[in-house]
Amino acid sequence: MFQFAWLKKLLHTVLLGASLVSTGVQAQAVPEEVRFAYAGGPRVWVLGKIDKAYDKAFGAKVKWVPYASGADVLTLFAAKEIDIARFGSSPTAAAIARKLPIEVIGAPEIIATSERLIARKGIDSLKDLEGKTVAYPANSTAQYAFEVAIKLAKVDRSRIKGIALKPAEMVAAWKRNDIDAAYVWGPFSQQLEGDGGKEIFATRDLQKYDVLIFNNFAVRKEFADKYPEIVVKFLRVVQDKVDQYQRDPEGSAQAIAKHLDIPVDTARSTLAGLQHPSIAEQLTTAYLGNETTKANSRITRAFQNSAIFLAEMGEMRKADIPASFAPAINTTYLQRAAALP
C-alpha cells in the first residue's frame, strides 16, 4: 500500500512537470503583442482593428504602429520595432534589395484609383506638369507610379520639380500654394480635391502598360520563424475582412469612416479604388503564385521592374538588385491560410 501511494505521488509529479513544460511551450507560441505597421487610411483590413478580430485570433494584443510612407516602414523593420506591415510594392522591392530580413506573405491590395495625381486648375495632362512642382511621399508606390507615368508619357522630367513630402505635409503645402500637384492616396487626395484640385491621372491607368503597383504584407523573418501560426491566422483574418467588405461594402465603409473620423464618401471611394484578390487568386501566377510557380509570377516580375526603375532613378544601386525576388516571397503561409475554415 505504501509503495503504491509513493508510485502514485511520483507519477503525479512527473505528469505535473510535463504539464508545466507543455504550458511553457504553448506560452512561447504566442507573443505578448504583435506589432503591425499601418498608414492609417481607409483599408478593408481595418475592419479587423475595429472589432479586434486579430487580437482574438492571435490570443495576443495587437499594437498598431502608424507610419507616413514606405520609407518609414523600412526604418521600423530595420530597428525590429514592427513584426508585420502593409506597405507598397516599390519600397518593398527596395527593402529586399537592401537585404532587410523580411518575407512577402501576401498581396491583398492592387492599387487602382486609391492613389491619384491631383492638380490645380489649368493643369489637364501630364505634359502640363512641365515647369511645375509636384509632391509625392518619398519611396512610395505613389512616387513610383508618378515617375513611371511621366516616363511613359514622354514628359521632360528635368522640367518638373519633384518634392518629397508626407501626405499631411502635402495638404499644408497645397494650401500655401507651394505645390501645383500631388500624387497621393485617400483621404489626402480627397482633401486636395475639396480645395480646388482635380484628378489628372490614377495608378489604374498604368495597368494598360502591364505595370502592376500594389500593397503587400511583409513580415520579419525572425518573427515568422518563431510564430508561424500567427502569420497564418493574420492572413485568414484579412481574407475574412475582405469577404465582409464584399458582402456589405456600404456598412464596411461607414464603420471604417467612423473609426478613422473621416467622411464616409472618402472611405467609400478609397476602398472602391482597390482591387482585393482572394487568397486563392493570390496563389496564382496572376499575382504571387505558389512555392512552385512564384519565380514566374506577375508580382515577382513587378518587384524586379520596380527595382530596375528605382536604380535608374538613383534610389538604389543596380548591383544590389537580386537576380530574382522569388526567394523573398513565402507563399506557404497563404497556402496554409487557404486551408483554414
Q: How confident is the model at residue 22 (pLDDT cuts 50, 70, 90)?
A: very low
> Residue 21: its pLDDT value, please?
41
Task: Please report the domains of the chain, with CATH numbers, ordered by start residue.
Answer: 27-113+213-338 (3.40.190.10), 115-209 (3.40.190.10)
**CA separation for the pair 47, 268 (Å, rounded):** 14
Distances from the Cα of 41 to the Cα of 59, 64, 126, 231, angstroms: 26, 13, 26, 22
Per-residue pLDDT, 71: 84
Distance from C-alpha of 60 to C-alpha of 240, rounded to nearest angstrom: 18
Nearest to 90 by CA among 106, 69, 68: 69
The contacts of residue 74 (CB under 8 Å, 6+ apart) are: 91, 94, 95, 98, 100, 139
Q: pLDDT tens digit string along 287-315?
A: 999 999 999 999 999 999 999 988 988 88
Question: What mean pLDDT is predicted for residues 35-61?
Answer: 95
Q: How far apart are CA 300 and CA 319, in angstroms?
A: 18
Q: What is the pLDDT of residue 171?
A: 97
What local confidence, expressed as pLDDT, does residue 231 receive? 98
Please report, as a single letter, which amino acid is at residue 143: Q
pLDDT at 38 over 50: yes
Q: 70-126: per-residue pLDDT in tens? A: 889 999 999 999 999 999 999 999 999 999 999 999 999 999 999 999 999 999 999
Q: What is the pLDDT of residues 154-195, one digit of tens each?
A: 999 999 999 999 999 999 999 999 999 999 998 999 999 999
Task: Say which range, 20-24, 99-103, 121-125, 324-328, has the weakest mean pLDDT.
Answer: 20-24
Phi, psi of 230 (to 5 degrees): -65, -45
Phi, psi of 202 (to 5 degrees): -135, 155
pLDDT of residue 250: 98
294 closest CA partner among 286, 66, 132 = 286
User: Hey, what's the torsion of the CAs at 105, 40, 65, 251, to 10 degrees?
Assistant: -70
- DSSP-based three-state secondary structure for 199: strand
What pairing do the DSSP bridges indicate for beta strands 133-136 and 161-164?
Answer: parallel
Does the structure show a pLDDT above 50 at 18? no
Q: What is the mean pLDDT of residues 239-263?
A: 97
pLDDT band at 138; cut points 50, 70, 90? confident
Mean pLDDT score, 203-225: 94
Q: How far apart are CA 274 and CA 67, in angstroms?
A: 20
Q: What pLDDT score does 316 carry?
A: 87
d(CA 194, CA 316): 36
Residue that the C-alpha cell 495632362 belongs to = 125
What average pLDDT does the segment 245-250 reach?
Answer: 98
* Three cell numbers written together for 201: 491621372
End-to-end CA distance of the chain: 52
Q: What is the pLDDT of residue 310?
A: 87
pTM, entire model: 0.83
Residue 185 has φ and ψ, to the nearest 5°, of -100, 175
For every residue of 81-122, DSSP letters joined together read --SEEEEEHHHHHHHHHTT-SEEEEEEEEEESSSEEEEE-TT
Question: Averaged over 1-16, what is the pLDDT?
Answer: 41
| pLDDT at residue 5 in the model | 47
Cell of 163: 518634392
pLDDT over 90 at 210, yes or no: no
